[in-house]
Amino acid sequence: MSRYFFLSLWMIFSAAHADEKTTANDAHDLAYSLGASLGERLRQEVPQLQIQALVDGLQQAYQGKPLALSEARIEQILADHESQNAEHSAQPSSDAAMENEQRFLTAEKAKPGVKELADGILLTELTPGTGTKAGPDGKVQVLYVGRLPDGTVFDQNTQPQWFNLDSVIAGWRTALQNMPVGAKWRLVIPSDQAYGADGAGDLIAPFTPLVFEVELRGATS
């Protein structure tokens, strides 16, 4: 139940009063209808709501009486509740995200030509390479495109770029030490070898596997 909900409710009350007929029956029916509409919404949105406290707050505010809570306390409670609701509705549960990841990885593993490296990293060789390989503390020069499971590009470069292997995600460190210069691989990296349960800001959600096409142009040990 957010402040937007109360704003909507206030608009309902305002519109209803604007059209209200001034008969006793209409006044009763209007009040009952508003209460029924509010009750239905609250039953869905706040199932454990204390009805008597709701009635007390509604009555005191409607009659202009002093409220049991300060305005600052009320605003804070409503803001916290709104934030919790928004967080709950905006992000899928961890269990659902992990199930989605496992389905994606299983489907990727079943594709022709896919090989599995350590830690569940999947590779498909697009172009073979015959050059040297990087050491664990070495550097790599790469061209790459990074995609989310739905194909959205979240990162790429257009010119070969050097990286220290100790500064990249774990999945890259593992894969690129197995990759000879001149090779181009498609890599599928599980989330625990990328950004894990934390994700990366708004760009990469928690428990998101990543897909890279990487071309290794140079390597040092």
Q: For residue 186, what pLDDT is reported?
A: 98
Whole-angstrom distance, CA of residue 214 vs CA of residue 73 = 54
Whole-angstrom distance, CA of residue 3 vs CA of residue 174 = 49
Report phi then psi at 77, rounded to 5. -60, -45
Q: For residue 12, what pLDDT is reported?
A: 45
- Identify any residues that bridge with 218 across adjacent strands, giving them in sequence order: 141
Q: Phi-psi bin for 147: left (phi > 0), alpha (psi -120 to 50), beta?
A: beta
- Identify any residues that bridge with 210 across adjacent strands, giving them in sequence order: 189
pLDDT in tens, 156-189: 999 999 999 999 999 999 999 999 999 999 999 9
CB 177 within 8 A of CB 214: no
pLDDT in tens, 76-132: 888 887 777 666 654 557 889 999 999 999 999 999 999 999 999 999 999 999 999
pLDDT in tens, 73-90: 888 888 887 777 666 654
Q: Name the pLDDT band for 15 (thresholds 50, 70, 90).
A: very low
